[in-house]
Chains A and B, each alone.
Chain A
């Protein structure tokens, strides 16, 4: 394949779609793991710490994590390249009412993506970095106690609110992103395209609600009304 083909508008979008869909897949796995935090406190601690240790020690998971880092970086860099080109060629009108015919989140994927990028820096710092390189206490089984790190993080209500807002941004990003990725990859069969669209909406809602419920639940059960 020639380099010119890889640099075409369609190939660049294919990279966005493939990395985006891999991140969509990762979100499912991430959410399923996090759901353990909804268990009763004493069971959640053991289960979650065991799970975290299992993931960090597994060579297969490590390899997948490199694909994940690559996908995140490639998705962001490619988005920047695409946006710069689009900004260069895009039309400017004196009076512009084009917003009437498309969804606001489909036009603002870059802004939503930037919010998510800022959130990810925070998220990596608070959990990923702390778990890998920070001083994390050990639980009674001898595993690093990520559970108390989570409890500590969600102590303040504003941090919980920040998380929920970021998940809302994620939800809108997915609502357009999933559908757009499938279109970009070329699913043109009318019936299956509509099924996949419906799946995308359900998926986006599930991810958003799932990830939002966890910090709220942890905060309320540990520090809030339900304690």
Chain B
């Protein structure tokens, strides 16, 4: 198949970017989107041009490194996928495909499609952990966790931190990402104890990084490759209010 690409090219964080047109012939319908990008880059290198930079790692949909706006949607038109799991069969022959980086005030573009998502790291560093002493694993039966609790906590823990929730949110809110970690740890006995402290710190950090308010449009849940539920946001709101009121 033949495709026309309009890709965001930006030299560095300070430079002005713009959309640049590329044409690709002989694209295999079974190629993944990133393989198509590789093909483009090979051609650019052969022509002596600078290849398009984009983040990627596992290419199995589990690491959260890749992420771009494809035809105006985070990770492309199919819900519940990462960009690497999107295949060219989802596009029509001769179609024009727009590719842009995930954008938000808190996610500055570093180059082309590559963005700085360290704001997420700083949110996690502010409280997304359990302050337990390391050492030998404890005897399993000292902390009882039911199967349902474990599954529920794991559903929240499944977040891969790709940033699609922020990119797709009209307010660039990081509520889904932050709430997933807060819920994950609040659902387990090891993490439950520090919930109040954690939620206050993480929300404060989230606000300081320049993410917007959550308007509950639920677009984030639709575009999340891991299907993280918006009920996590409700959990975060509840834990936050509780912690704010009970704080001494």
Q: What residues make up the interface of A, taking CB atoms closer than 8 Å to B?
A: 1, 4-5, 8-14, 82, 85-86, 88-98, 100-103, 106-107, 109, 176, 179-180, 183-188, 190, 193
Contact = CB atoms under 8 A, between A and B. Distances in A.
Given A10-B203, A93-B69, A184-B237, A103 B217 contact: yes
A101 B219 contact: yes
Contact of B213 (A86, A186, A187, A188): A86
Contacts of B69: 93, 95
Q: A101, A109, A184: which has the most chain B beta carbons within 10 Å? A: A101
Contact of A188 (B103, B217, B218, B238): B238
Nearest to A104: B217
B213 A85 contact: yes
B167 to A, nearest CB: 7
B234 A193 contact: yes
List the 9 shortest-distance A-B pairs measured between CB atoms, nearest first.
A186-B238, A97-B72, A91-B103, A95-B98, A188-B234, A180-B216, A86-B171, A102-B217, A188-B235
A89 B203 contact: no
A3 to B, nearest CB: 12
Interface of B: 6, 8, 19, 69, 71-74, 77, 79, 98, 100, 102-107, 167-168, 170-173, 183, 200, 203-204, 206-207, 210-219, 222-223, 230-241, 244-245, 247
Contacts, number: 146
7 contacts: A1-B245, A9-B214, A91-B107, A91-B167, A95-B72, A97-B72, A98-B219
B237 A5 contact: no
Nearest to A180: B216
Contacts of B100: 93-95
B237 A10 contact: yes
Nearest to A13: B213
B103 A86 contact: no
A186 B217 contact: no
Q: B203, B230, B234: which has the most chain A beta carbons within 10 Å? A: B234
B222 A188 contact: no
Q: A98, A183, A193: which has the most chain B beta carbons within 10 Å? A: A98
Q: B103, B203, B213, B218: which has the most chain A beta carbons within 10 Å? A: B213
Contact of B211 (A89, A93, A187): A89
A213 to B, nearest CB: 29
Contacts of B73: 97-98, 100-101
B34 to A, nearest CB: 19
Contacts of B238: 185-188
A135 to B, nearest CB: 45
B237 A8 contact: no
Given A9-B207, A93-B103, A193 B231 contact: yes
B244 to A, nearest CB: 5
A10 B103 contact: no
B8 A94 contact: yes
Given A8-B204, A8-B240, 10 more contacts: A9-B173, A10-B236, A11-B244, A93-B72, A97-B71, A100-B73, A183-B230, A185-B238, A186-B240, A188-B235
B237 to A, nearest CB: 4
Nearest to A187: B234
A161 to B, nearest CB: 30
A111 to B, nearest CB: 13
Contact of A91 (B172, B215, B240, B245): B172
Nearest to B152: A190
Q: A10, A93, A193: which has the most chain B beta carbons within 10 Å? A: A10
A9 B203 contact: yes
Given A95-B6, A102-B219, A106-B217, A89 B71 contact: no
Contact of A88 (B79, B105, B167): B105
Q: A8, A90, A95, A107: which has the most chain B beta carbons within 10 Å? A: A95
A69 B247 CA distance: 31
